[in-house]
A = this chain, B = another copy of it.
């Protein structure tokens, strides 16, 4: 059943931009560590490749200059660090050094196996002097043992026997990537991780490094296993450890080196050097094969819960699976970490976490692996104190405001109009908690963890908005669209704030009699008056609506601005943010990304289908999709509005964004939110899935280019497998008790299996009931 799980390129391209692209596409990660795919043997001298590896949320702090020192602007910023490089392996055949850029590459391939959780590079190479070898290099970031990264390096001499020298390195002298020309990357070359100790102990090398300002330590430990005994020694110089070995290779008899690297940081461990030693011992206590089996086991469970399939388009099917796989590679699985827009495949956006998590990525986990969703919420719960400080910096006396971008919870957004001003992140976090609760209905968790976040974030709406002429307004914030900053009554923001306040009040009323709830109320000093105010604000919430156009204006003044026709902009001027002054962009009706349509997606009951349809048509024409957060939602809403062919076109862009490098910046890292977006597009879009308080809803359709598709949903105690084709929709209860499902407005009970004829139900139901939403 687990088919189409291998992504492979052959031959391996050697152009600089493609090498960088593949560094990201073939990176290995497990949510804790991430290692870009750098050639072990390195690159030609003078080229600017930067071997990179990260620990999720392992960061330093560096000074951020503001051109004018206004109050509250950030002066320091957190940044994920490039940690010690354990990738290097130099292979010397007598006096010739193996390199993809010299001699002759006869055959080569790079392969990601998403069932096994490994990448494999195969190279058949002839040296300038004619020695031919075959290399098979297998890399794994272990899901079984998170600190562990392995490289299995197998050499087969094809036409000779003779001396092989191998130098395997462990290098503490690392820098962070920078690009002064792209505001989305760090602009300064930074040496932030300082090696303090480089040592050999019990056959392993240890490099202990300290950050310059965040007071963190990381220790990496590298050990080796050889397939046959041979001479070897360790050398240490300038914070770089070398493991040198010499062997006599025999033609046809492969020689194998296994390189184990473990990474432990002081965020998670009191003594990370000691922990690194323990982790290395643990890793070495198993055979590599055992570690590989554990990897398969973990992924087998993952795919079992998160299986997706598109029938009738193998390429899109593979891309979708690739995207889903990257989510499990990228997501942090402890309370210190979250999931960044680039996952662990690059340090674009400096490893910060954004609302991408709650609005795009978390829904995938909520309905497939809710435990991970819970862990993501616990990350936010743990950063409540910092979100409170942030609210105070922003001038508020009550409540919390989550930072727009952060690692530890401290605001790291340098340009506040497109950063801290995006108060809607509070709504996204609340929305994710509400959705998680729908999925698991864990009341005890809600009261002990979720509600504190719900209430504290809700308070901020009261602090931010104000009543004016009988309406509750939220002025001077920025909505999702970063091409229109600092506006009044952003429709999306007001809509999600209303939803948020409604649920906060509803739950307050509901849990009155619960003792733990009363404890929480006392702890956060929440009063009845505040709840009344929540209710009033929600009731009177102003949601901009334009009668003439029958659309929801993005904000109070959006429609009075000049329209900027996308067709009139030369192609080389995209993304606009790299080519136009922000003020010029803000002055126009032009969108970087989905905004009002996002509100229609998550809160569809607010407006009539006609308004939603009109809004879609209106905003589509002025949306540049300069953000990767945009097209997936346009895809979902096209599918829901029965524009299936349009939805399919969007989907093709969304699902292939990274594998086809459509944004031209995948080299800086994959786009995790868009990847999750491709999953949402299938499930929330084509399958018309909704999870509401009342249960699960589906309105499936299938693009004509496909035969059908499949996916799985975890809901309460159940796991449901869904299979859709052009004529029918089949639900299988793989686990748990029976559930009610509403398909095109008609409710069914799923016990073991449920088959619904699509054509029939669509016709009968749709006729009666135009306003399903």
- Asked if A6 CB lies within 8 Å of chain B CBs, one says no
Whether the pair A415, B187 counts as a contact (CB closer than 8 A) is no
B residues near A561, Cβ cutoff 8 Å: 466, 468, 475-476
B residues near A69, Cβ cutoff 8 Å: 180-183, 187
Whether the pair A466, B70 counts as a contact (CB closer than 8 A) is no
B residues near A578, Cβ cutoff 8 Å: 71
Closest to A183 in B: B69
Chain B nearest Cβ from A507, distance in angstroms: 28
B residues near A469, Cβ cutoff 8 Å: 560
Chain B nearest Cβ from A76, distance in angstroms: 11
Whether the pair B486, A70 counts as a contact (CB closer than 8 A) is no
* Given A473-B560, A488-B557, A587-B464, residue A72 in contact with residue B415 (CB < 8 A): no
- Asked if A581 CB lies within 8 Å of chain B CBs, one says yes
Closest to A393 in B: B581
* Given A67-B66, A581-B394, A582-B71, residue A557 in contact with residue B556 (CB < 8 A): yes
Within the assembled complex, what's the spacing in Å between the Cα atoms of A325 and B74? 42
B residues near A418, Cβ cutoff 8 Å: 68
- Asked if A395 CB lies within 8 Å of chain B CBs, one says yes
- Name A68's contact: one of B395, B415, B473, B586 (CB within 8 Å): B415
* Given A475-B557, A560-B488, A577-B70, residue A583 in contact with residue B421 (CB < 8 A): yes
Chain A count of residues within 8 A CB distance of the other chain = 56
Whether the pair B560, A395 counts as a contact (CB closer than 8 A) is no
- Name A486's contact: one of B66, B395, B583 (CB within 8 Å): B583
* Given A67-B64, A73-B67, residue A560 in contact with residue B468 (CB < 8 A): yes
Whether the pair A580, B466 counts as a contact (CB closer than 8 A) is no
- Asked if A579 CB lies within 8 Å of chain B CBs, one says yes
Within the assembled complex, what's the spacing in Å between the Cα atoms of A488 and B589? 14
Within the assembled complex, what's the spacing in Å between the Cα atoms of A559 and B586? 22
Within the assembled complex, what's the spacing in Å between the Cα atoms of A74 and B67? 9
Chain B nearest Cβ from A685, distance in angstroms: 33
- Name A65's contact: one of B67, B488, B580, B585 (CB within 8 Å): B67
The 7 residue pairs across chains A and B that have the minimum distance between CB atoms: A67-B414, A395-B584, A65-B65, A72-B581, A476-B587, A68-B415, A466-B562
7 A-B pairs (CB sep. < 8 Å): A67-B67, A67-B77, A71-B577, A395-B580, A395-B581, A395-B583, A416-B582
**Extra 20 A-B pairs, beta carbons < 8 Å, given A66-B66, A475-B557:** A65-B66, A67-B67, A67-B73, A67-B74, A68-B183, A70-B582, A71-B580, A72-B580, A72-B584, A394-B581, A395-B580, A417-B417, A420-B583, A464-B587, A468-B560, A476-B583, A476-B587, A477-B583, A486-B586, A556-B556
